[in-house]
């Protein structure tokens, strides 16, 4: 595995003395889709903020495409790693969707033409193109969340981190998220999500990293992880509903994470 994004012996302690990450190493390649799961307070958001340089390691290193985050500003790192905040209201500060999405490309020094192109591309991808002239705060939370996703995509980073993207999304939003992730993968972008939504992780991410008590306790194929009782119990995480249903029916097929998997299993019997 190549190490486009390399986290090596990483520890992070907040100024109040709380050690939120304890000696973590992870390697993530271009084009990978990785879910980070774990209980509240496990250190997932802290880890994401170290990946895009918002936080700098207390010890150890985070290197993206050869850039050690300690040697670059957060603005420089954000060209390579885009982070979509859990709460869109922590990110949005312009009066129109267009200006909000254009902010990143403008700061990168793109020409007017490039800015227009990137804003239109990104907003079409996440299906908010009709709202370009609207004030983001007149739009519902689910749409505001896509405004922040588009803002990051418009900067064309290599790695996109989505923090709790399914919160507040209906079926239409979930479908749009899935197609956006699929398209980003086609463009060989690395997509990382922090999520409590196990169905979302199971359907869209091939690899899952499990965090608990400031540590990485597992890292592997999503199917294996969601069928590993010990890991999920230690992390305090429940597997997807369909895996639980299958287990309670006595079906021990590790491939079952989604309804379609259970249907296939039943059809094969």
Ligand X SMILES: Nc1ncnc2c1ncn2[C@@H]1O[C@H](COP(=O)(O)OP(=O)(O)OP(=O)(O)O)[C@@H](O)[C@H]1O
Site residues for ligand X per CB under 6 A: 14, 16, 18, 20, 38, 40-46
Q: CB 41 → ligand X: shortest distance, Å? A: 4
Q: CB 97 → ligand X: shortest distance, Å? A: 26
Comparison of 123 and 169: residue with beta carbon closer to ligand X: 169
Pairing of strands 5-13, 190-194: unpaired
Comparison of 37 and 177: residue with beta carbon closer to ligand X: 37
Give φ, ψ of 161 to 5 degrees: -105, 125
Comparison of 41 and 60: residue with beta carbon closer to ligand X: 41
The residue whose two tokens read 């999920």 is 232
Q: CB 9 → ligand X: shortest distance, Å? A: 18
Cα–Cα dist 35/1, whole Å: 17
- Please, what sign has the CA dihedral across residues 165, 167, 172, 175? positive
Q: CB 220 → ligand X: shortest distance, Å? A: 19
- Please, what sign has the CA dihedral across residues 257, 43, 188, 85? positive
Q: CB 16 → ligand X: shortest distance, Å? A: 5
Comparison of 38 and 57: residue with beta carbon closer to ligand X: 38
How many CB atoms are closer than 10 A to CB 176? 19
What token pair was written down for 153? 């995509």
Comparison of 110 and 214: residue with beta carbon closer to ligand X: 214
Q: CB 191 → ligand X: shortest distance, Å? A: 18
Alpha-carbon distances of 127 from 99, 150, 232, rounded to whole Å? 17, 9, 35
The CA angle 214-33-262, to the nearest 5 degrees, is 100
Would you tell me the crossing angle of helices 112-125 and 97-107 to the nearest 10 degrees? 130
Comparison of 43 and 104: residue with beta carbon closer to ligand X: 43
- Please, what sign has the CA dihedral across residues 53, 57, 63, 67? positive
Comparison of 47 and 147: residue with beta carbon closer to ligand X: 47
Q: CB 83 → ligand X: shortest distance, Å? A: 12
What token pair was written down for 99? 């200006």
CB 90 within 8 A of CB 145: no
């Amino acid at each position: 595995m190549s190490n486009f994004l390399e986290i090596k012996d990483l520890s992070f302690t907040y100024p109040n003395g709380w050690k939120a990450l304890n000696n973590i190493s992870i390697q993530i390649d271009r084009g990978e889709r990785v879910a980070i799961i774990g209980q509240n307070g496990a250190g997932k958001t802290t880890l994401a903020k170290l990946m895009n340089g918002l936080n700098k390691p207390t010890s150890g290193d985070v290197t993206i495409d050869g850039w050690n985050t300690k040697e670059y500003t957060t603005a420089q790192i954000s060209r390579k790693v885009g982070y979509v905040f859990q709460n869109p209201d922590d990110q949005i500060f312009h009066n129109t969707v267009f200006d909000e999405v254009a902010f990143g490309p403008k700061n990168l020094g793109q020409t007017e033409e490039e800015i227009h192109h990137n804003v239109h591309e990104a907003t079409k991808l996440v299906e908010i193109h009709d709202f370009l002239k609207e004030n983001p705060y007149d739009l519902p939370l689910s749409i505001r969340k896509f405004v922040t996703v588009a803002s990051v995509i418009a900067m064309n980073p290599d790695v996109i981190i989505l923090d709790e993207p399914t919160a507040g999304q209906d079926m239409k939003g979930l479908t749009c998220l899935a197609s956006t992730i699929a398209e980003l993968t086609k463009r060989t972008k690395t997509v990382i999500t922090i999520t409590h939504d196990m169905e979302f992780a199971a359907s869209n991410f091939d690899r899952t990293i499990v965090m608990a008590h400031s540590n990485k306790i597992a890292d592997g194929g999503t199917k294996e992880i969601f069928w590993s009782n010990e890991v999920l119990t230690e992390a305090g995480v429940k597997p997807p509903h369909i895996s639980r249903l299958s287990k309670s029916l006595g079906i021990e097929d590790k491939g079952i994470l989604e309804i379609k998997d259970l249907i296939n299993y039943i059809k094969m019997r």
